[in-house]
Amino acid sequence: MWEGPDLSSLGAIAVYAVLWGFLFAECALLLGFLLPGDTILFGAGLVAASPNSDVNIYVLVTGAFLAAVIGNEVGYTTGKRFGRDWVENREKGRAKEQLRRAERFYDKYGWLSVVVARWIPWVRTFIPIIAGTAAMDRRAFTSANIVGALPWAVGLPVLGYFAYQVPVLRDIAYAAAAIAIAATVVTVLGGAARARRARRTAPASTDPGTGSSAESQPGGQSAPPA
């Protein structure tokens, strides 16, 4: 993954434009997974803390928050408008079945997935589009979008700002974030695995009269007893 431009060599307006543009593209466009969101957020905070910089930390984080939220909303709308139609128009039933599974997943874990995805490179680019394709509830998506953007788009630059004077803060923050992400991912995967086992072990539907499964013949009639 590209590590991003050298923000310290840019003026304040250029820093704002590069950071906000990168965040929007990473959250809204499929090719955005190539962009270094975490690195550039933290680096922008470091630049804002420099005595020789004209970058204002308050302007920086406000724009970063808006770019991240709007980018995710655009990604969601793109998935809902174009991705869903593409899947539903596919001739193969497998694509539609995968869509049904995605819908069930987002009904249960969608809100948490959108929040956690902010901290996982590559994943944060695709989650909004998939959420839109799976028709996740818009209000739930937007609330998760805002909650996830606050610690990511605001927290990382602020952390970089203070880490300019206390460098060890960076290591502590990333360690804490890694532990939180791991715990959340394990919880989500564990719940999905339990749901899958439950579906596999669910008893097959039986005919109330005979206690055995009914076998259908052409015309919708049950097979006669042997």
Q: What is the pTM of this model?
A: 0.67
Q: What tokens does 175 get?
A: 């360690």
* Least confidently predicted of 108-122, 124-138, 152-166, 169-183: 169-183
CA 205/CA 156 separation, integer angstroms: 52
CB 174 within 8 A of CB 42: no
32 located within any domain: yes
208 located within any domain: no
Residues whose CB is less than 8 angstroms from the CB of residue 176 and which lie 6 or more positions away in sequence, other chains included: none
Give counts: helices (H), strands (E), the chain. 9, 0
pLDDT the model gives residue 121 = 75
What would the pLDDT profile of 44-94 be if each residue is shown by its tens digit? 988 998 888 899 999 999 999 999 999 999 999 988 888 666 665 654 556
177 located within any domain: yes
Q: Find tokens 């992400």 and name the residue.
A: 181
CA 67/CA 118 separation, integer angstroms: 13
CA 94/CA 117 separation, integer angstroms: 26
Domain total in the chain? 1
* Least confidently predicted of 10-14, 93-97, 98-102: 93-97
CA 31/CA 35 separation, integer angstroms: 8
pLDDT the model gives residue 142 = 94
* Host H or E run for residue 118: none
How many percent of the chain have pLDDT more than 90? 23
- Mean pLDDT within 115-144: 86
Domain residues for 168? 7-199
171 located within any domain: yes
The residue with greater pLDDT, 38 or 157, is 157
* CB burial of residue 88 (10 Å; 0-12, 13-18, 19+): exposed
pLDDT the model gives residue 14 = 92
30 located within any domain: yes
159: confidence class by pLDDT, cuts 50, 70, 90: confident
The residue with greater pLDDT, 151 or 214, is 151
CB 95 within 8 A of CB 8: no
CB 106 within 8 A of CB 98: no
pLDDT the model gives residue 199 = 64
CB 71 within 8 A of CB 28: yes
Instruction: Choose the most confident range, by mean pLDDT, from 62-71, 189-198, 199-208, 214-223.
Output: 62-71
CB atoms within 10 A of CB 30: 11
Residues whose CB is less than 8 angstroms from the CB of residue 43 and which lie 6 or more positions away in sequence, other chains included: 4, 7, 160
220 located within any domain: no
Q: What tokens does 123 get?
A: 């994943």
- Give the CA distances from residue 98 to residues 133, 140, 212, in Å, rounded to whole numbers and listed in that order: 11, 21, 30
174 located within any domain: yes
224 located within any domain: no
